[in-house]
């Protein structure tokens, strides 16, 4: 029985409060992510627009996922293709030094 009591105490110590040991969100409601390209009525993502593409590439050179950027599936596919094309044309580096 002494072993079970110790186990319960350790499991309660994990996380940052709340039931289930998980930390909750701070600051209230999270605002919904919207696709930048749909809002601006952009039909096709241009691989030559390097400044726009850089916003969707991490510091380590990785393409950011949809759940982070908030893009729709259609524009995320176009964005990925444009970033890869820009890398091939040496407009964007493959990785950061």
Q: Does some domain include residue 95?
A: no
The total domain count for the chain is 1
| pLDDT at res. 23 | 63
Q: Mean of the pLDDT values across residues 71-95? A: 94
Q: Does some domain include residue 93?
A: no
| pLDDT exceeds cutoff 80 at 70 | yes
For residue range 10-68, list pLDDT tens digits in order.
555 555 555 666 666 676 677 788 898 999 998 999 999 999 999 999 999 999 999 99
| pLDDT at res. 2 | 60
DSSP string, 2-43: HHHHHHHHHHHHSSSSSGGGPPPPSSSPPPPP--HHHHTT--
Of 23, 47, 51, 52, residue with least CA distance to 36 = 52
| pLDDT at res. 95 | 84
**CATH at residue 71:** 4.10.640.10
Q: How far apart are CA 44 and CA 71, in angstroms?
A: 13
């Amino acid at each position: 029985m002494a072993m079970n009591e110790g186990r319960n105490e350790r499991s309660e110590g994990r996380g940052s409060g709340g039931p289930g040991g998980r930390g909750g969100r701070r600051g209230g409601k999270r605002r919904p992510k919207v696709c930048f390209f749909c809002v601006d009525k952009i039909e096709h993502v241009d691989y030559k627009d390097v400044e726009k593409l850089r916003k969707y590439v991490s510091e380590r050179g990785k393409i950011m996922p949809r759940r982070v950027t908030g893009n729709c599936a259609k524009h995320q596919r176009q964005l990925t293709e444009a970033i890869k094309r820009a890398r091939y044309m040496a407009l964007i580096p493959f990785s950061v030094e």
